């Protein structure tokens, strides 16, 4: 049974801990960490099995088989490389951190040298399996259009830096169009799906991203469109936001739990 460390005790971290605690995933929670002591304490109160403790990520790197990052891009930048160098497997939810090609390559090389694995769940979008298959031949274009309620976009660096006020918005508005590399910096808590799609397909600089603020909806919507030698693929999904964080889709948490279950399952299905 693998020992897991959880970095980040928000909605996704809580769902993962609950899945392990219930026995849905055959694993053991070794430790949890969050900058908010209150959040970490709340998660510990929920757990009924094992002996999980609050501990620093550095301790997890020394003691765990797998670390799950569900905190922030900063957490990935700080802990992914030490974990990979120490031979510890890592699941990354804040995938936008890998838009830096030098950092991505360092983590990949360290994992290859130590034998560790880096797992990236598909998150709040569908179609990653088909996109990875399509990438075995030529892909001419990949685009992701994200439509979110205003509450799910508030506080994004791109909006602040460009003095974009959405508080009085009455109808859908295209607020960003550019590359995935730009999108994951400007909207670090909103478009991890774009980072995942970039890694599956043609990269951060060639993947086109459009972000629409829509005050008329309550769901997070993503549309993936791909053209290549295989043909044409178009996938659309409407996600309910998590009950506690409008920036996070509920499916993103389910995807993380599903990935963890796949890691521990002897039967592997799909690409």
Which residue, 118, 119, 126, 93, is CA-closest to 13? 93
Residue 268 inside a domain? The answer is no
Rg value, the chain, Cα: 18
Q: State how far the Cα of 74 lies from the Cα of 144, in Å rounded to an integer.
A: 24
Collapsing DSSP to helix, strand or coil, 155 comes out as coil
Tokens of 188: 């670090």
11 and 101 inside one domain: yes
99 and 142 inside one domain: no
67 and 170 inside one domain: no
Tokens of 266: 């002897």
Question: CATH number of the domain that 218 lies in?
Answer: 3.30.360.10
Residues designated as active site: 222
20 and 88 inside one domain: yes
80 and 188 inside one domain: no
162 annotated as belonging to a binding site for a ligand = no
pTM over 0.85: yes
Residue 269 inside a domain? The answer is no
Q: Strand order in 2-7's β-sheet?
A: 53-54, 27-33, 2-7, 66-69, 89-92, 118-119
Sign of CA dihedral 201, 204, 209, 213: positive
41 and 98 inside one domain: yes
Residues near 3 by beta carbon (within 8 Å), at least 6 away in sequence: 27, 28, 30, 63, 64, 65, 66
Which residue, 251, 136, 232, is CA-closest to 192? 251
- Could you tell me the mean pLDDT of each successive run of 10 residues in the chain, 271 residues long? 95 95 94 96 93 96 97 96 98 96 97 97 91 97 96 93 95 97 94 95 98 95 97 94 81 94 84 59
pLDDT digits (tens, 9 = 90+) for 123-179: 989 899 999 999 999 999 999 999 999 988 989 999 999 999 999 999 999 999 999
DSSP 27-88: EEEEEEE-S-HHHHHHHHHH--SS--EE--HHHHHHH-SEEEE-S-HHHHHHHHHHHHHTT-
pLDDT at position 185, please? 95
Q: Are 17 and 6 a contacting pair, CB within 8 Å?
A: yes
119 and 133 inside one domain: no
Write down the H helix ranges in 140-219: 157-161, 180-186, 192-200
Tokens of 50: 């094992």
Is 82 exposed, middle or buried, given 0-12, 13-18 or 19+ CB atoms closer than 10 A? middle
192 annotated as belonging to a binding site for a ligand = yes
Quote the domain boundaries for residue 200: 128-246
Query: What residues does 209 pair with on adjacent strands?
Result: 144, 178
pLDDT at position 271, please? 59
Query: What residues does 239 pair with on adjacent strands?
Result: 220
74 and 175 inside one domain: no
23 and 41 inside one domain: yes
190 and 108 inside one domain: no
């Amino acid at each position: 049974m693998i020992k897991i460390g959880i970095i980040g005790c928000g909605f996704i971290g809580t769902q993962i801990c609950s899945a392990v605690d219930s026995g849905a995933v055959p694993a053991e929670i070794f430790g949890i960490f969050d900058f908010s002591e209150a959040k970490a304490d709340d998660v510990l109160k929920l757990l009924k099995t094992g002996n999980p403790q609050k501990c620093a990520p550095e301790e997890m790197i020394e003691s765990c088989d797998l670390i799950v990052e569900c905190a922030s891009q900063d957490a990935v930048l700080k802990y992914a490389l030490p974990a990979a160098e120490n031979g510890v497997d890592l699941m990354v939810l804040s995938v936008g951190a890998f838009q830096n090609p030098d950092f991505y390559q360092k983590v990949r090389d360290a994992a290859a040298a130590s034998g560790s694995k880096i797992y990236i769940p598909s998150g709040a979008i569908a179609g990653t399996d088909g996109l990875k298959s399509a990438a075995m031949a030529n892909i001419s274009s990949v685009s992701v259009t994200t439509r979110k309620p205003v509450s799910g976009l508030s506080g994004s660096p791109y909006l602040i830096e460009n003095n974009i006020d959405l508080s009085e918005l009455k109808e859908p508005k295209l607020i960003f169009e550019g590359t995935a590399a730009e999108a994951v910096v400007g909207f670090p808590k909103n478009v991890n799906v774009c980072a995942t799609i970039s890694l599956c397909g043609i990269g951060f600089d060639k993947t086109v991203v459009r972000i629409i603020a829509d005050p008329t909806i309550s769901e997070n919507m993503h549309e993936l469109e791909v053209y290549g030698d295989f043909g044409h693929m178009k996938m659309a999904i409407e996600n309910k936001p998590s009950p506690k964080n409008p920036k996070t889709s509920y499916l993103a948490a389910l995807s993380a739990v599903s990935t963890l279950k796949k890691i521990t399952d002897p039967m592997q299905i799909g690409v």
